[in-house]
Structure 1
């Protein structure tokens, strides 16, 4: 065993010791000096030579050797400590810790019987901010914030789903489809809404048929029983109405729908309810995913999600329940601007023309739903904190519109406060919004300027844009007094994020952190400090605390000594000029050991294509693709130039960059890859005839599109868990970009690799997990058969029987990357 292999071959025992020491040992809080200015010019200098070369077995091993990092960190209620979890890669259960912020404090593991006291991350404050109500394991707790005492209010097997303080200090909570109110003065628990998704009972019915009427007319006993039943029913209704000890009447909303979400007004009078048709299912009606290695030795039939070609989401229906008057209003959508527009008119006309037909545009009500934002946990339903005023954020199921609407509680209708329309699609991020405290104003994020920015709209309908420029704003926190909005943005450089704040009345944006890398933040309860989860290019995420206006301090050090001691090459972030109208395309570049720009021997090169499509990887933070980061170091040690590019469609660069792939996936991105190859040839002494590419998921899709449509661009490619036909992917993601196959077959045929497979001329490696419930294994099977029928001999496949989309087993990762490395060594060296 080589010295470096010995260094990284961590046994289970030594790993446990490493984890234990980090978990309970001294936390060496330290002031961090950080290089905070992105490079304005790239200085391509050879990296230092690593005395201990990397091996695939080392870098594809169980990642616990890199350190078990802190996850899900949040502030304690008093702001004097932080809570977080740590979970080893293969561990079934996470451990939870509390770390005091005073000097010399240790991170203490929290015992199971104390977890309910851990100042839960999510909770609601009482109107006077003296108490905090929260849910733990489905039960309700209230904490006295002055004295720190915690009181458990429920001990149930049926979980509570949500909790809210009402304006008068009463506490409301949801369980199943019922809403309960705890009266603060008496402690009385009142069921204020009992919603049943069933048809209302018909009650005692008078005879209707001839035989029934005859029976009642001729038989006195039958008639008497009927009259008694009617009298009992009338008396019961009278008691329910007049007896103050009875709970409110049951709501019957029909048996054809289910409750998606419901929310209660500040005074507890109104409940806003979103419903969905029961006939809809996310599962495919026609298919399963076979698990060939079932625990009983048989093939298990695992349910599979619906494909975009078969998914037909019906949207949501909305009702308003008056819990005092016991009246129901169906909310009409006519008040949403553009609710009946034919937003697909041009697309349908183009597709009809291709079929030799003519399309006639007609208006019709569109399907509407509560906004689905994949990055925030805030409800789309926002009641005012004191008044009976309601805002709802809605989106069209067709992805072209987002509305912020108020609800007319008297008339039962939406009124548009803000409409964001996009001819491509409205983003599934950057949708935070909410009321500002102590006012009738609300804030929201919008990409209407081309970038996600902050806006405030007042009660008179005047809108003020608070931020502007070619940068992206997200992760918004409203100050408790409503005077400031805190947010994260990449103002200095697209690949470097910091925390800022701005007055809700407008004014200068104030920078609160000075970090070169990526970070997330949380504002402390007293709004004087920031908890940061931050990383740099070669340093994994650690926790930091920074007083606002003060010095940043690192409070965790969980990256292992072995990982930090290794001389990792820091990739250089470069701006690649586009020859295809894209401006600058940002990329990370790794240089070979001993790099010499003037060497007579040109270098082989590899371009890595990140996954997700809409994801940012050419930044100054530690990559979520940590195995690939180490693999790129290995390739550089073996003499390769490596580029990792944020092609068009990637996150962090604004609306036009995101939507450049609309109805045309895999074409603008491949143009960017061409510019990346040209840049490496012109700037890093790369041999244009020895360049390969690889990537997983969306990156695997791009590998296909490059090899099939630009066969001279790359000499070899590896596609991992790749999409081969977008009609088989899921609806929420795909319909954004390509619409749906029945509406826009042109976009699917243009964008699906299986439609272009005849262009393959260079060696291709296809690798897929059999248990991939994201990109189905069938995707690769169909493409393989297509390549066989096209008589293409230059491809190979590898399957991984136990792996989902994100591989779990170190042996699978190792096998996968051994094959990729072998391909590049054979075809590029």
Structure 2
């Protein structure tokens, strides 16, 4: 059982003070917002929020990362859940703590974990720790084996076990890189010469016989050691010993042959020379191929699992039919000949490649299951596994013609486990929202434990397996609360009640909650409360500076926009206290695509939130939309951008602009738009394809051509560029640049290893060739995708503010200028 009561990531400390003083020296009040003020280092003038919250194994201490001293980085702090002083943890005490990785035994009596490349065993009742390994090599992936009798771990791509009773260490596998000696084809001339030597010379013949005798003896002795398994060029992953000790399972990863990798030049360097940063391939490049291997120790043989029996493995994506229909029909005179040739040369059914995860073993060791995902990410199967026969049996299949994802599902195995020795639990978007399910491995009977138009975003099974603990947005898409539910389903009992979001970490005895809580205009703080419905939460940290608290930060209204297709699209609305008639407005587009920002907790876009307060102070109305593709609203919204980025995600912005004009008194001629990353992409699409709607736009670190972005993100939404060129052509701003009429500002970091600087350079050249004049590009030589330096943030947002002040104020010209 993987650790659920874990400590936060440990950090190096500055000199330690015994007890934290939470008082802040008085500072000047923040009466007027300026770009220079709000873009300062947040840790220095706002305060540092607590993060990475965890419990000690005995439940007597809460640990968290924090930075109330305004140091260069966070440090580790601790407090008793019942109250008392918050103390910084010394480096010596830090070294004695267990780390975040680890696994409990079935009784939650012991925990095994890795620390500094060695393995440790912790007895929870006594608090005593035993060192399992002390080597110069790194040991990883500790686990309990043989029903808790042994500790298993990986060293140098091989599996070892350690017996706590005897202290004996046993090597269980012998994986070797490369090919087995003698497995290649020998040249015929070599064989001829060897035979000739043996026939001509007695001494050579006798020595050859002696060598063969030694090899037979070595082979007999080797039977006592693990079988040598040659990996070739494969990489080994996820080594596991089955509960009965008979099987070792592992995943083989075959990296593609060397592909061309994009280079990002770094111009401002310590050496004074331009240095090249090797980044990534582009979408459509060959990807790693995976197989599940099984080593049957009893039979001393290995197998690679086959998947031909998987239902739908040969099912091709629906979008390909569009290209089939577009193909030209055969000429009438040749139709019969072509039809005959097609029938004769009909290709074999194409089976998609898959990625296996697991196996996951039941507590009694009698059953195992795998999670298998298709490489095109349109299918996820959960299957039972019998390693003795290499047979799999279908337990659940989720298919999405767009792509599989969602809370608790993700892009890997997702949140899965054993409810008991007969039922597997998992999350699925089968209903349109991510919910919790179980399936019986014997009968394949599936049951939904939760349902409704909300998302289950996090799941944890109680230690006694009688209750579920869930985080969900059941009360409102923009709120997250903590719930409990009977193990076999039923009513959800809400535990947390403070409006906003509560990130909960339970104590080991599950009686107390450490809660990281925030609201729209209140950054994250740490609270403690009993694990009871309606219990009062007690605030532990007070992180904010007096300067930050002196300004009346707005609580924007969360509204629902009725989109043109009837969907409800949520947004944050910021309005001036006394809005001028036909005044200006700005629409902000969040990044990442699959991210939620129109919610009721502190935004990860804190700088943008403060900038919106500044804009409202200046008389602007601001709208921040969770457009199609955003997180928090279920499968239909999540996949609403499939094969057309710049489709519904853009029309949601246009519908938002229409609402501003019709309901909130905004001039339809004075609406601007801005955003970064995906938000920058949408800004470009808005300025190029909706020039009558948006007067000015600021596109920051923008994707301009999706064929140049990475594979993992882009392939899910647009498929491969060589298979779905239509999707790329209609989704890439560079193809629409001729439509620019309003004023466009583009900002980009020159060492951006995510959205490469090349992207914006290519678009700039396109604008030059199109003779566009109403655009400018601001470059930031030392910034990656996420800006770090306050000076860069300040320069960027001063330019954005100037763009809007120049083009959206009543005195600005209504029509665009400088374009063709």
Q: Is TM > 0.5 for Structure 1 vs Structure 2?
A: yes
Structure 1 position 590 matched with structure 2 position 574: yes
Does structure 1 residue 366 correspond to structure 2 residue 352? yes
User: Of residues 254, 278, 287 in structure 2, which corresponds to 1:303?
Assistant: 278
For 1:285, which of 234, 249, 260 is the aligned residue?
A: 260
Separation (CA, whole Å) in 2 of partners of 1:226 and 1:362: 49
Which residue number in structure 1 is paired with residue 467 of structure 2? 484
CA deviations on 1:184-227 (whole Å, 9 max, x unpaired) are 22110111112113212349999972331221122122112111
**In structure 2, C-alpha distance between the alignment counterparts of 1:623 and 1:793, rounded to whole Å:** 35
Q: Which range is displaced more, 216-225 or 467-476?
A: 216-225
For residues 185 and 567 of structure 2, what CA distance do their matches in structure 1 show?
74
Q: 2: distance between equivalents of 1:236 and 1:529? A: 60
* Cα distance between partner residues in 2 of 1:312 and 1:487: 38
Aligned match of 1:423 in 401, 404, 413? 401
CA gap 1:77/1:71 in 2 versus in 1, 3 angstroms:
same
Contact preservation (8 Å) 1:437, 1:480: no
Q: Distance in 2 between matches of 1:322 and 1:333?
A: 19
Give how far 1:52 is off: 1.1
Q: Does 1:347 align with 2:319?
A: yes
- For the aligned residues, what is the CA RMSD? 2.5
**Superimposed CA distance per residue, residues 265-313 of structure 1 (whole angstroms, 9 cap, x where no aligned partner):** 22333222111213356xx51531111123211111110201104x221
Q: 1:518 aligns with which of 481, 501, 505?
A: 501
Q: Is the contact made by 1:291 and 1:301 (CA closer than 8 Å) also made in structure 2?
A: yes
| CA gap 1:264/1:533 in 2 versus in 1, 3 angstroms | farther
Whether the aligned pair in 2 keeps the contact of 1:314 and 1:367 (CA below 8 Å) is no
Higher relative contact order (CA 8 A, sep 6+): 1
Q: State the partner residue of 1:25.
A: 20
1:157-192 CA-to-partner distances (Å, cap 9, x unmatched) read 322221001214211111231111001221101111
Structure 1 residues 139 and 314, CA gap change in structure 2 (3 angstroms): closer
The equivalent residue for 2:233 is: 256
Hey, what's the Cα distance between the residues in 2 that align with 1:653 and 1:384? 33
CA–CA separation in structure 1 for the residues paired with 2:693 and 2:553:
29
Asked if structure 1 preserves the Cα contact closer than 8 Å seen for 2:296 and 2:388, the reply is no
Native 8 Å contact 1:496 1:515 kept in 2: no
SS in 2 for 1:496: coil
8 A contact 1:451–1:470 mirrored in 2: yes
Q: Secondary structure at the match of 2:430?
A: coil
**Structure-to-structure mapping, 1:7-22, within 5 angstroms:** none
Distance 1:295 1:268, change over 3 A: farther
The residue that corresponds to 2:251 in the other structure is 274
Deviation larger for 453-462 or 772-781: 453-462
Change (3 A) 1:489 1:128: closer
* CA distance in structure 2 between the partners assigned to 1:318 and 1:573 by the alignment: 47
Residues 662, 361 of structure 1: alpha-carbon distance in 2 compared, 3 angstrom cutoff: farther
What residue is the counterpart of 1:236 in the other structure?
218
Out of 450, 458, 471, the position equivalent to 2:440 is 458
SS at match of 1:285: coil
Whole-angstrom CA distance in 1 between matches of 2:184 and 2:381? 45
Structure-2 residue corresponding to 1:40: none
> 2 CA distance for matches of 1:20 and 1:66?
22
Q: Which residue of 2 is the match for residue 137 of structure 1? A: 116
How far did 1:250 drift?
Answer: 2.7
Question: What is the aligned partner in structure 1 of residue 428 from structure 2?
Answer: 446
Cα deviation for residue 126 of structure 1 reads 2.7
Counterpart check, 1:386 vs 2:364: yes
Partners of 2:678 and 2:148 in 1: CA distance: 51
Q: Matches of 2:470 and 2:552 in 1, distance apart?
A: 34
- Is the aligned partner of 1:469 residue 2:469? no
Query: How far 1:718 sits from its partner (Å)?
Result: 0.2
* Contact in 2 for aligned 1:63/1:89 (Cα 8 Å): no
After TM superposition, give the deviation of residue 92 of structure 1 in Å.
Answer: 6.7
Specify the alignment match of 2:741 in structure 1. Answer: 761
Q: 1:682 offset after TM fit, Å?
A: 2.6
Shift in Å, 1:136: 1.4
Asked if the contact 1:393–1:405 (Cα under 8 Å) also holds between the matched residues in 2, the reply is yes
Distance 2:433 2:549 in 1: 36
TM norm structure 1? 0.88
Cα separation, partners in 2 of 1:327 and 1:561, compared to 1, 3 Å = farther
Please name the residue that 2:166 is paired with: 186
Task: Please name the residue that 1:725 is paired with.
Answer: 705
Q: Distance in 1 between matches of 2:615 and 2:114?
A: 49
Change (3 A) 1:558 1:293: same
Within the alignment, does 1:76 sit opposite 2:56 as a pair?
A: yes
Distance 1:199 1:239 in 2: 22
Query: 1:356, CA displacement in angstroms?
Result: 3.8
Alignment map for 1:545-556 (pairs within 5 Å): 545-549=528-532, 550-556=535-541
* Partner of residue 648, structure 1: 628
Q: Is the 8 A contact 1:435 1:443 kept in 2?
A: yes
Indicate the residue corresponding to 1:11 in structure 2.
Answer: none
CA contact (8 A) 2:261 2:280 kept: no
Deviates more, 1:148-157 or 1:808-817: 148-157
Match of 1:570 among 555, 558, 562: 555
User: 1:497 and 2:480 equivalent?
Assistant: yes
What does residue 57 of structure 1 align with?
A: 36
Alignment of 1:666-815 (within 5 A): 666-815=646-795
Find the counterpart in structure 1 of residue 291 from structure 2.
Answer: 317
User: Could you say if the C-alpha distance between residues 446 and 615 of structure 1 is closer, same or farther in structure 2, counting changes exceeding 3 Å?
Assistant: same
Residue 538 of structure 1 is matched in structure 2 by: 521
Q: Which residue of 1 aligns with 2:26?
A: none
Q: Where do 5+ consecutive residues of structure 1 fail to align?
A: 1-18, 29-49, 372-379
**Quick one: distance in 1 between partners of 2:106 and 2:466?**
18
Instruction: State the distance in 1 between where 2:457 and 2:128 align.
Output: 35
CA distance in 2 between partners of 1:634 and 1:681 (Å) = 21
Cα 1:608–1:440 shift into 2, 3 Å: same
Rounded Cα–Cα distance in structure 1 between residues aligned with 2:72 and 2:252: 35
What is the CA–CA distance in structure 2 between the aligned matches of 1:169 and 1:674, rounded to whole Å?
A: 63
Contact 2:290/2:355 (<8 A) preserved: yes
Q: 1:128 aligns with which of 107, 123, 132?
A: 107
CA shift in 2, pair 1:492/1:465, >3 Å: same
For residues 403-433 of structure 1, give each alpha carbon's deviation from its aligned partner in whole angstroms, at most 9, with x where no partner exists. 1122221222432211100111111643234
Give the distance between the partners of 2:33 and 2:16, measured in 1 at CA: 26
The number of aligned residues is 766
Residue aligned with 2:610, SS = helix
Using the alignment, how far apart are the partners of 1:91 and 1:361 within structure 2?
65
Q: Matches of 2:566 and 2:756 in 1, distance apart? A: 32
- The answer (yes or no) to whether the contact 1:487–1:501 under 8 Å persists in 2 is yes
| 1:111 Cα offset (Å) | 2.5
Tell me: CA distance 1:411–1:629, structure 2 relative to 1, closer, same or farther (3 Å).
same
What's the CA shift for 1:73? 1.2
Cα 1:127/1:569, change in 2 over 3 Å? closer
Contact 1:664 1:750 in 2 (8 A): yes
On the 8 A contact 1:351/1:746 being kept in 2, the answer is no
Partners of 2:348 and 2:405 lie apart in 1 by 26
SS at match of 2:714: helix
Paired with 2:278 and 2:95, the residues of 1 have a C-alpha distance of 35
In structure 2, distance between residues paired with 1:434 and 1:698: 31
Residue 110 (1) aligns with residue 89 (2): yes
- Normalised to the residue count of structure 2, the TM-score between the two structures is 0.89
Matched-pair contact (CA < 8 Å) for 1:681–1:687: yes
Partner of 1:396: 374
Native 8 Å contact 1:23 1:107 kept in 2: no
C-alpha separation in 2, matches of 1:148 and 1:27: 32
